[in-house]
Amino acid sequence: MKFFIDTTNLEQIREAQDLGILDGVTTNPSLMAKEGISGKEAILQHYKDICEIVDGDISAEVLSTTYGEMIKEGEELAAIHPNIVVKVPIIKDGIKAIKYFSQKGIRTNCTLIFSAGQALLAAKAGATYVSPFLGRLDDVSTDGLHLIQEIRTIFDNYGYETEILAASVRHSMHIINCAKIGADVVTCPLPPILSLLKHPLTDSGLEQFIKDSQKMQ
């Protein structure tokens, strides 16, 4: 399973990259706004900066919602670096744009997926990734993992190569459950990834080994 980090914070991206387990980065307009990045030049420069830190797929989201504008914006984003994946919302014009991009060899991440039907349409249009939002479904008392399971079954039934990118992942159990179900990728902030490391028996065991190693010196 691939690990992407879901942030536009360069420090966190560097920290995740330094772990040596990072496969890519996802971003969205809210995450860009949170870092205070605004204006076309600053946005494009920020994606360039991310591409310099991580050698993996970097999702860059279009801000427009009409076909023509999405094509223009997506082509500009894709021209930044070969690792850029154009992130497109699952709307009617978005599906048309994904089809266009796939025919042009531009890779896409279809975002804001909340149903199996949306994922199926995105795969048929040739999306490279679909992003079901696990945590946001859980937030409204709906089983986000069940959606990922449904998409896994559908994609396997028909051999779709579109990868399932589990998004809106909030904690370490989300990551483990996504791995059990067979999501291809999880994307989340750094803390849930780091919490995979934690176990009290590891801490107490290491403490004891350190104490005992002093007796050996």
Give the per-residue contact string, 82-121, with ligand E4P (x = CB under 6 A; - = no): -----------------------------x----------
Name the minimum Å distance from CB 35 to ligand E4P.
13
- 135 lies in the binding site for ligand E4P (CB under 6 A): yes
Q: Can you tell me the distance from the alpha carbon of 127 to that of 97, in angstroms, rounded to the nearest whole number?
A: 10
Give the per-residue contact string, 12-31, with ligand E4P (x = CB under 6 A; - = no): --------------x-x---
Which distant-in-sequence residues (6+ apart) come within 8 Å of 122 by Cβ? 90, 95, 98, 110, 113, 130, 162
Cβ closest to ligand E4P, residue 5 vs residue 208: 5
Q: Can you tell me the distance from the alpha carbon of 139 to that of 106, in angstroms, rounded to the nearest whole number?
A: 33
Q: Can you tell me the distance from the alpha carbon of 207 to that of 209, in angstroms, rounded to the nearest whole number?
A: 6
Q: Catalytic positions, please?
A: 87
Binding segment for ligand E4P (CB under 6 A), chosen from 16-24, 95-103, 130-138, 204-212, is 130-138
Distances in whole angstroms, Cα of residue 53 to Cα of each of 25, 86, 167, 214? 10, 18, 21, 39
Interacting residues with ligand E4P (CB under 6 A)? 6, 26, 28, 111, 131, 133, 135-136, 167-168, 187
